[in-house]
A and B are shown apart, each in its own frame.
Chain A
Amino acid sequence: MDTPGLKQYEALSVESAAALRQEGAWRRVQRSWSVRIGGTALVVLVAVALAAPWLGTVDPALFDAGSRDLLPGERGEITTLEGATLHHKFLMGSDSFGRDIYSRVVYGTRVSLIVGVCAALVALAFGIVFGLCAGYLRWLDGILMRVMDGLMAIPAILIAIALVGLWRASLVTVIVAIAVPEIPRVTRLVRSLVLTIREEPYVEAAIALGTPTWKIMLGHILPNTVAPLVVQGTFICASAILVEAILSFLGVGLPPDIPTWGNIMAEGRIQFVSYPHNVFFPGVFLAVTVLAVNILGDGLRDTLDPRMARRV
């Protein structure tokens, strides 16, 4: 559905691509406060995710019925698989199984980040491929864009729920389910970039010289898509992390033995009033992470394309 509003938006993306070619774009990115704050927060989170086993955590799946519903800071016991008993301080309390919420939240960082980044990458990858095809192959353009329009008309969360709910709940399914509804927007973006850049004189010259198509794509078109796609990808990542939490909350997310913030909150919702720490801690981590990614995205967009910044 081409509307004037969408057309303007896409036209700006092309201009932002031009902005990147200007000198000092990278330096501008580095100097932006938003990028600094968002970037630093993300680096810290990635560090936490990688260092999870060494941050005073226990195996997030271990539980002991005797340690149920401990308040943050209380001490209790955990039985390992070999039968040994550990004495452990539950920094963020324990859930209704007796599992350590702190460990689950820390390990949950891994899953949330993986889901976010992978969903963004998958959406970008497919979007680039479809966008290039649509922009380059006239005969494919019509049908492909109709399919994309159709896909965009279905609310994203419903596609995600349906896909995960009906397939097996697994990491791959969730990533695909979250990425699929984002593909049309990326496709449209890439497609309009392709269409515009193709008109550029140096591209026409390259075609006239007989440069193979793939070289033109790689050498001319793709570099110009980097800026808007990076911005787009960042926002998809933020959205993906949130959607994963929502899917888990509704009961159609990752299997509950995988600790994700959404899962911890979903299991904790049953005792939200009496033991709010189940929902509070993962909720805070979730909000902070998504906030960081959004701020990073804002910063990247502001610096890579000042005109887009004023627009939205």
Chain B
Amino acid sequence: MYSFLARRLLATIPVLLVVAVLVFLLLRLTPGDPAAILAGDAASTEQIARIRASLGLDRPILVQFGIWFGNLLSGDLGESFYYKQRVTDLIGQRLEPTVSLAAFTILIAVLVSVPLGVAAAWRFGGWFDRMLMGFSVLGFSVPVFVLAYILIWFVSLKLGLLPVQGYQRLADGFWPYFRHLILPSVTLSVIYIALIARVTRASVLEALGEDYIRTARAKGLPELRVVVRHALANAAVPIVTVIGIGVALLIGGVVVTESVYAIPGLGRLTVDAVLARDFPTIQGVILFFSFVYVLVNLLVDLSYVFLDPRIRY
């Protein structure tokens, strides 16, 4: 097991390396001049050139990459062109909102979708099953921001139950923190619910077709126990897999949700950084997200060992 762990960890290194190179190339090959933006509206061309030099943008590409990568290895993601703060500090500041949003979303999604998927599989072909499949396709098809606007309009403006926008830090009190996160998490969880519910339904269905289920039923076990203890447990692997893969969807959704609800998280940071041609921040955030994605999938792989004893590495 430990040798597997070590091998898996080592396997992530080339992936992260590739990500680093891709991200660096992505930005350096594109037009758009961060120096002109920083200089402001009435700046002269000489002033802009001076700022370019001070940001190191006039050195050859390989040199720039070497410097950047070297810094990367020592944990230094550079300084934002735009905010004049260290990228690691910026990411640190924005971490709490995004992690909170993601955590609540996953929580809501799993709590809602797994029972839904199990129920649909249990009554396969019935009206509930068809409705779930129908709604899940709808969940994939409506863009996140449209859903957000509908929810804001209805829940916040018409009913006045929840705040319209913003984020309150946990340190300022649990209740405001929670209230501000409800709508964004619900909005974001819809697509996740659609995805997980389908996979849950499919794999529970598969599991229910197996022999051991017939045995369990023949033994006279209560149906709930059969479904949960036997079918769901054996269906866990694909469900957890899709949760892991769905993190990529989640990150995409986070970007839009933070934009609509004015949550100062990493998603907003990325969009603002792209619009400002803030290379170090864009690189830093993309690297960070990729790293998280790789980590999550690593954890998912490891969880297989606990979820399914048949899987050996």
Contacts and interface: CB of A to CB of B under 8 A. Distances in A.
A–B touching in complex (CB under 8 Å): yes
Interface of A: 1, 3-6, 8, 146-147, 149-151, 153-159, 161-163, 165-168, 238, 242, 245-246, 249-252, 265, 269, 272-273, 276, 279, 283, 286-288, 290-291, 294-295, 298, 310-312
A119 to B, nearest CB: 15
B9 to A, nearest CB: 12
A166 B294 CA distance: 25
Interface range for B: 35 or more
Contacts, number: 159
B110 interface: no
A285 to B, nearest CB: 11
A146 B16 CA distance: 10
Interface stretch (B53-61, B92-100, B221-229, B296-304): B296-304
B202 A311 contact: yes
Given A158-B255, A310-B206, 8 more contacts: A3-B301, A6-B241, A150-B17, A154-B23, A167-B30, A250-B255, A287-B141, A294-B140
8 contacts: A1-B15, A150-B17, A153-B15, A246-B256, A249-B145, A249-B259, A291-B141, A312-B199
B278 to A, nearest CB: 11
Contacts of A252: 271, 274-275
Contacts of B16: 150, 153
B261 to A, nearest CB: 13
A43 to B, nearest CB: 18
Interface of B: 11-12, 14-19, 21-23, 26-27, 30-32, 137-138, 140-146, 149, 153, 157, 198-199, 202-203, 205-206, 237-238, 241, 248, 251-252, 255-256, 259, 270-271, 274-275, 277, 282, 285-286, 289-290, 293-294, 297, 300-301, 304, 311
A269 B199 contact: no
Nearest to A181: B248
B140 A150 contact: no
Contact of B297 (A3, A147, A151): A3
A246 B143 contact: yes
A279 B141 contact: no
Given A156-B252, A294-B141, A149 B290 contact: no
A165 to B, nearest CB: 4
A157 B72 CA distance: 23
Given A5-B238, A150-B19, A272 B153 contact: yes
A1 B255 contact: no
B22 A1 contact: no
A166 B274 contact: yes
A294 B153 CA distance: 27
Contacts of A6: 241
B141 A161 contact: no
Grouping DSSP codes into helix (H, G, I), strand (E, B) and loop, the A interface class, with mixed when no group exceeds half, is helix
A162 B206 contact: no
Nearest to B20: A150
B138 A291 contact: yes
A269 B255 CA distance: 16
Given A146-B15, A166-B274, A156 B248 contact: yes
Given A161-B274, A238-B140, A252-B271, A1 B27 contact: no
Contact of A163 (B18, B26, B277): B26
Given A158-B255, A269-B149, A4 B23 contact: no
A168 B286 contact: no
Contact of B252 (A5, A155, A272, A288): A155
Nearest to A158: B286
B290 A312 contact: no
Contacts of A245: 143
A162 B26 contact: yes
Contact of B14 (A146, A159, A163, A276): A146
A147 B17 CA distance: 9
Nearest to A266: B145
Contacts of B252: 155-158, 246
B143 A286 contact: yes
A96 B294 CA distance: 44
Contacts of B255: 157-158, 161, 250
A6 B300 CA distance: 12
B141 A162 contact: no
A150 B205 CA distance: 33
A166 B282 CA distance: 11
Nearest to B304: A4
B181 to A, nearest CB: 21
Contacts of A151: 18, 22
Contacts of B203: 311
B248 A155 contact: yes
Contacts of A165: 274-275
Contacts of B237: 4-5
Contacts of A279: 146, 149
